[in-house]
Structure 1
Amino acid sequence: MNTSRQADSQSNVAEFSVSEISGALKRTVEDAFGHVRVRGEVSGYRGPHSSGHAYFALKDDRARLEAVIWRGVFSKLKFLPQEGLEIIATGKLTTYPGSSKYQIVIDSVEPAGAGALMALLEERKKKLAAEGLFDDSRKKPLPFMPRVIGVVTSPTGAVIRDIIHRISDRFPVHVMVWPVRVQGETTGDEVSNAVAGFNALPGEGPLPRPDLLIVARGGGSLEDLWGFNDEAVVRAVAASDIPVISAVGHETDWTLIDLAADRRAPTPTGAAEMAVPVRAELEASLARLSARLKGAISREGDRKRQALRALSRALPSPDQLLALPRRRFDEAAGRLGRALTAATQRKRIAFNSLRLSPATLERRLIEARRRTAASGERLPGVFLSLVRAQRTRFDRDAARVSPMALNQRIAYWRDRLSQARRRADTQVDILLKQGHASADQAMRLARSLSHEGVLERGFALVRGPDDLPLKRAVDIQPGLELQIQFADGVARAVAASDGRKAVAATKKSKPPNDGPKGQGSLF
């Protein structure tokens, strides 16, 4: 009974479609809030859409309200909204059934002062600027051709794909990605840790240390990019030893990291273009410079060659160079004969004027004796000096050649001789063992190949009177003396029949089945 009543009560409830509910809500909101004035901060404003309408949001510290300005109203506004600006918007509230949202349709806009986020941003900007974090003197030049580029961005977005694609097109290098969240409360800490982590990599570790960093993110509202205004991010970028390119947002967006970075790029693709040069352009420039160098070398060679020809024309000929020396030689040769004649005459006059007398000879003998006596007096001293020098040299040589040194050398060579003797004995033992092993192996091989081993297996060797082996039965004649050698001795026998008849009989008869065919003689 209760179940039936509950079913009847549920069946009496009116049913609405989704469109009816959305329309009812729309009418209710528009009737209750037909004309309102709302104060809030502009967020997500990007100017008018391609259709001419403008879409953005108004927010305060606790709520967010979607806003729209239709094209007809936007063209008549005296004051246009700006990102982060606090405004007073007049219009009516309505709903958008397509996404179950409510929004304000603005009819007029008037400024109400700077927004809270913009005020905070300006205050933080002034504080960090006062510390010198935005000074141009702190900014480092970008490397012309980095080998490794570190990228701090989201690994799943289109930004990293655009950067890698652009770098691959221009100049392929090694790209390392440090994944971070580029929106949310943890963005500041993750980005600052990523920049510090890249700087902490060792130069010779398993991971290469980047030569350049790119901090990148796509466009968004001021709230979406707020993580890149974090003070920790700005300080990490300013303290980075690796040059940093900031590529956050679009060209119209700006954050504090743009001011602290060494270079700001309008877009992530622009950052990739700043990071690496165009390889094709470098190759073309190199080819152009190479051609210029070859041309310059060729022109310099031609210029030097022409200068050499000019100098060679200015130089005198060999005959002209030798003419003056040749003339001086001829004049000296002419004077030489006359000078010899004059010198001979002077010598003859001097000789004739020389008078030889006993007194002159005696004076010369006395002078010679005096020089000899002086030399004799100096001779003992010189001799003693030579003896002392020889004794000093002998003592020095004797000190070097001492019995101790000789004994040490004798002991050293005796030890070397003993070691050589021990090695020789060891080597002889090894060679003897190898020789014994080879001889044993050869004996075993000879024993296995000898006919005596075959005799041990039950065979016999038949020899004739001449002690030669008989290999065929046809060689045996009646009455032939035979020597049959077994493994344990030799027996003598006489052939009773002709070997040719035995062979013929053997061919006619059927061979027995109880033994191997043809077994009887070793040969």
Structure 2
Amino acid sequence: MPDPFPEDSPRLVAEAMPGDNAAPESVGELSNRLKRMVEGEFGRVRLRGEISGYKRAASGHVYLALKDDAAVIDGVMWKGQAALLPFTAQDGIEVIASGKLTTYPGRSKYQIVIDRMELAGEGALMALFEKLKAQLGAEGLFDQARKKSLPFMPRTIGVVTSPTGAVIRDILHRLADRCPTRVIVWPVKVQGAGAAEEVAAAVRGFDALEPGGALPRPDLVIVARGGGSIEDLWAFNEEVVVRAVAGCSIPIVSAVGHETDTSLCDHAADLRAPTPTAAAELAVPVLADLRLSLDAYAQRSERCARRYVERGRERVEAQARLLPKRDALLGPQRQRADDAGQRLDRALERRVTVARGELDRTAGALRPALLTQRIAAARQRMDQTFKLIEALNPKHVLDRGYALVTDRTGGVLSSAAAARKAGALTVRFGDGEVAARVEGTAPKTYAKPTPDQPTLL
């Protein structure tokens, strides 16, 4: 009878098979065996490929893939090595990565743990350069409209460069020759790991200084480095440097490398200088030339002022020549004055003659007989006037028997009613006064007065 369960047939529950002396492995055990095999077989490797899927995690680790036309391999770079990269890695850049080949059991994939990564030759470096240039240029960081004018004579110049190289000595020497000014050096590394971050921090540090602070804020900043290969100058092509230079509110002169070298820092700066020495020449004018220019301006100003005065004098003289001569201008007035004088003399003579005639006529009327006659007539009129005054004198009226009745205040009483009201009276006669009092109302009888007896009215 055949076996109902042959050895190669599937079973519901796993059982040990005859001749099978090995226990089944776990997935983790197999993954670890593969990991040891791969690491033992390959060890360190160098791979050339194009970066794809570049990503920096929050932890600082970098995850990417390297690919070519035939295959793709995952890669990882831990935080410490990623911080030392001399360039900013990104997708599409061809690199040569060195590291240890291993597996990642969690995903059953093999990968390379990269501890060093370099660009695959100058071609790849230039490709990265052009890519960064196009990317940052599209953001407007290189636009001419953003660039600021340099100050004519900066009082303080900030220099971002290595403190030990020949660059700073050349800049200081050239500034001292042309126009001595205050220089503040911010020392940085100019190549290698961390150089880009230091240069960017220096530019931002100068920009953050407050005017009037303990450390003077520069009026101009020079970012400088000596010549070298494109690899040596690469720190000045990093995005962090370009953004710091483009965002600085202080005018910046970039002097990176020699005349034929061009960096992205040059494009972002307000002005590019072919060499550090040329940057110093562009930063300040020549003091001796300024003095000569000032002297020339002073001489020109003096000549202009003198010429202005001379031309004014010429205009005045020309105008004076057009004016009439004094004798011609005053001749008619002089003649009119002479005519008026002559007429005045004749008028005075005529007036004297007339006055003499009037005097003669008046003197003829002033004869003594005429004056005596006039005096006699005037005396007669005066005598008559005195007689009239004497006749109207009240005292003479009182002497003729009339009396003047007044009250105690001297007021004249002209009626009986006024006398009764006054009560006390004063009666004035020609030879004196008599006090009287009203005792009642007298009967209205009128006696004819005698010539020798006055009647009280």
With the shorter chain as reference, the TM-score category is 0.3 to 0.5
TM-score by length of 2: 0.48
Larger Rg: 2
TM-score by length of 1: 0.42
Answer 1 or 2: higher relative contact order, Cα 8 Å, separation at least 6.
2
- Greater percentage in helix: 1
